[in-house]
């Protein structure tokens, strides 16, 4: 296999991987403060994209503003979901919360179906059109992928800074480490959970907007994306945004290179088996800490 073909598979893997990565980041925020996996994360992604598409189609709202509005609205939805369904439950078990998020995911998907219909839609490309590509050493990649990678990188850095250096971020980490202790220190733990839903929803919506030109958007795409994102978040190691990005790119690359050897129809089999083997040897994910994975059980 010549180098440029190898590189092409590599770039294809990066393209798919960047999408998984940016979806997976959203899982970690809520996981960190509540210990639950929010199965409605995929719906945040789709809602964000659908809102942004609706705004751009009006014709007079420019793209960046449309994305901003979409992110804000989805953030509001995230907050509303937390306040209505999660906030007032006393001593919730993890499984109970997860089932609630599954319920929310189903309902928001069907609502989206009723509002936007079953047809496929997409955002315009941020730069260029559907035919343009960037050539790197004889292999090509869509410019949108660079946008996705760049924005994922920025999200990860901003999150790191936020959790390390701001008071709110530190408070959220404190809640993750020990909720009771955090409350004793005067941190409003419930507020932090609401905040984590808002941040997750915002990241999800942004992910939806930036990946929509590549993946296209349809009301029921959320669940498959969420499943891949979940897999990636776990294999990377829960609670760690950098790990999510690495996990996402890894899955993308495995899927892409496996096509060389096996039919495309079975690439999921190869990818999942490799990820499962990784998990068997590192039961708490590539970057996960053992204590952390043991802490949060059902």
Partner 1 sequence: MKCKNVIIAGFIILTLLCAATVFGMGNKEKDTIKVGAILSVTGGGAFLGGPEAKTLEMLVEEINNTGGVDGRKIEVIIKDSQGSTENAISFAKQLIEEEKVLAIIGPSTSGESINIKSICEEGQTILLSCAAAEDIVNPVASYIFKTPQKDSYAAMKIFETMNKMGITDIGIVVGNTGFGKGGKAQLEKYAPDYGINIKIAEVYEASATDLTSVLTKLNNAGIQAVVNWSIVPAQSIIPKNMKQLGMSQPLFQSHGFGNIKYVEAAGEAAEGIIFPCGRLLVADVLPSNHPQKAVLVKYKNDYESKFKEDASTFGGHAYDALMILIDVIKKVKSTDKAKVREAIENLKNFVGTGGVFNFSASDHNGLAIDSFEMLTVKNGKFMLLY
Partner 2 sequence: MDVKRYRPIAVLLIIIVFIQLICTFTGTEFFLTQIIMAAYFSLVILGLCLLMGHAGQISLGHAGFFAIGGYTSATLTTINLIDIADSGVAGFLKGAGILFLRKDIYGEEILSFSPWVAFIAALVVTILIAFLIGIPVLRLKGHYLAMATLGFGMIITTIVRGTRIFGEADGISSVPAFDLLPVLRVTGKSIYRIENYYIAWFIVIIALIISLNLINSRVGRALRAIHGSEEAARAIGIDTARYKLYTFVLSAVFAAAGGVFLTHYNGGIGPSQSSVMKSVRYVAIVAVGGMDNIWGCLFMGILLNFLTLRGFFGTLEEVVFGGILIVFMLFFPRGILKPGMITSFRNAIRKCGLKLFRMRGKSKQNAA
Binding range to partner 2, per CB under 8 A, among 10-18, 44-52, 66-74, 91-99: 91-99
209 to 238: interface string for partner 2, x by CB under 8 A: --------------x---x--xx--xx--x
Asked if residue 115 binds partner 2 (CB under 8 A), the reply is no
Residues 238-277 that bind partner 2 (CB under 8 A): 238, 263, 265-266, 268-269, 272-273, 275-276
- Cα separation of 238 and 275, whole Å? 14
The DSSP bridge pattern shows strands 134-136 and 139-141 to be antiparallel
Q: Which residues 93-152 are close enough to bind partner 1 by CB under 8 A?
A: 110, 113, 117-122, 125, 129-133, 135, 140-142
Q: Where are the alpha helices (DSSP H) in 166-221?
A: 167-177, 179-184, 189-215
Nearest CB to partner 2, comparing residues 68 and 102: 102
Indicate which of partner 1, partner 2, none lies near residue 273 (CB less than 5 to 8 Å, by partner kind).
partner 2
Q: Which residue has the tokens 């995911």?
A: 105
Let me know: does 232 contact 24? Beta carbons within 8 Å: yes
Neighbours of 197 (CB within 10 A): 28
> In angstroms, what CA-CA distances link 110 with 78, 101, 116, 221, 234?
17, 14, 10, 12, 27
Long-range CB pairs of 159-166 (<8 Å, 24+ gap) are: 159/25, 159/29, 159/241, 160/241, 160/242
Q: Is 198 in the site for partner 2 (CB under 8 A)?
A: no
5 near partner 1, rule: CB under 8 A: yes
* Window 6 to 45, contacts with partner 1 (CB under 8 A): 8-9, 11-13, 15-16, 19
Which of 13, 21, 19 lies closest to 253 in space, CA to CA? Answer: 13
- CB of 108: closest distance to partner 1 in angstroms? 14
User: Mask of contacts with partner 2, 71-90, x by CB under 8 A?
Assistant: --------------x---x-
* DSSP bridge pairs for 121: 217
Q: Summarize as ranges the residues that interact with partner 2 (CB under 8 A).
A: 31, 37, 39, 85, 89, 93-97, 99-100, 102-107, 109-111, 223, 227, 230-231, 234-235, 238, 263, 265-266, 268-269, 272-273, 275-276, 279-280, 283-285, 293-294, 296-298
């Amino acid at each position: 296999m010549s180098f440029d073909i190898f590189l092409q598979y590599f770039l294809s893997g990066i393209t798919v991987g960047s999408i998984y990565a940016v979806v997976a980041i959203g899982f970690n925020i809520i996981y960190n403060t509540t210990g639950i996996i929010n199965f409605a994360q995929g719906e945040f992604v789709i809602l964000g994209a659908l809102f942004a598409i609706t705004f751009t189609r009006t014709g007079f709202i420019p793209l960046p503003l449309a994305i901003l509005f979409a992110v804000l609205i989805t953030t509001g939805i995230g907050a509303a979901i937390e306040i209505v369904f999660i906030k007032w439950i006393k001593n919730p078990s993890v499984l109970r919360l997860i089932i609630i998020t599954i319920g929310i995911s189903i309902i928001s998907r069907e609502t989206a179906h009723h509002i936007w219909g079953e047809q496929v839609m997409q955002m315009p490309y941020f730069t260029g059109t559907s035919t343009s590509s960037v050539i790197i050493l004889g292999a090509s990649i869509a410019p949108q992928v660079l946008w996705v990678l760049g924005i994922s990188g920025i999200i990860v850095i901003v999150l790191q800074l936020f959790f390390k250096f701001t008071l709110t971020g530190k408070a959220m980490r404190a809640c993750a480490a020990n909720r009771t202790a955090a409350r004793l220190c005067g941190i409003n733990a419930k507020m932090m959970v609401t905040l984590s839903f808002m941040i997750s929803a915002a990241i999800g919506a942004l992910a939806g907007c930036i990946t929509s030109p590549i993946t296209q958007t349809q009301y029921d795409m959320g669940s498959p994306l969420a499943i891949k994102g979940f897999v990636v978040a776990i294999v990377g190691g829960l609670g760690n945004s950098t790990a999510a990005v690495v996990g996402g790119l890894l899955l993308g690359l495995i899927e892409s290179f496996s096509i060389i050897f096996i039919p495309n129809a079975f690439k999921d089999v190869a990818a999942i088996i490799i990820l499962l083997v990784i998990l068997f040897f590192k039961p708490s994910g590539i970057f996960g800490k053992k204590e952390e994975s043991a802490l949060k059980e059902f």
